[in-house]
Amino acid sequence: MSLSDWLADGTIKPQESNRTEISRLLAIVDRDLTDASVPGLSVDRGFATAYEAGLQLATIVLRASGYRASASAGGHHWRTIALLTELMGSEQSGRARYLDSCRRARHQADYDRTGVASADERAELLDDMRTFRVEVLDWLQKHHAELL
């Protein structure tokens, strides 16, 4: 499915963003990246929190592009992540696949069982989300500087 398909079925809706919204979303990203590193936090919770930072970064891309995922339609995390490649470019296809696998693992950790992620997996996700943050800021600067 593509952006045009989801716009047609109403699961993605056009809606302009603004500097305040992007700033608030970046603050959530920074909080989640910090919280995911807290000593003593369970590995699963740290992994889930690092994933949430990634989801917010993908949301920034979607919102800066002038769209919003409809939470009431279900699957809004999946759609937001899936649109990374279409909105940022094919170089994000690997990250979109990775974040989607993390989305599924986070779901298991939140709803099904413990021990979903290892300490190494949490550290890898956290490092990648820090890199992704830099890439999103660079993308914003190039494509939507008015939102920074």
User: What confidence tens digit (pLDDT) does each residue in 38-65 have?
Assistant: 999 999 999 999 999 999 999 999 999 9
What pLDDT score was predicted for residue 15?
A: 96
139's tokens: 């993308």
Tokens encoding 145: 């500087």
DSSP string across 70-122: -GGGS-HHHHHHHTHHHHH-GGGHHHHHHHHHHHHHHHHHHHT-S--S-HHHH
**Exposure of 70 by Cβ count < 10 A (0-12 exposed, 13-18 middle, 19+ buried)?**
middle
CATH of domain 3-146: 1.20.120.330
For 18-42, write each residue's pLDDT tens digit: 999 999 999 999 999 999 999 999 9
Which is nearest to 64 in space by CA: 17, 2, 29? 17
Domain segments of the chain: what residues?
Answer: 3-146
Dump pLDDT digits (tens) for 61-114: 999 999 999 988 788 999 999 999 999 999 999 999 999 999 999 988 878 888
Which of 3-17, 69-83, 91-105, 129-143 bottoms out in mean pLDDT, i.e. has the lowest?
69-83
Q: Give the model's pLDDT for residue 112.
A: 85
Residue 15: how many CB atoms within 10 A of its CB?
A: 11
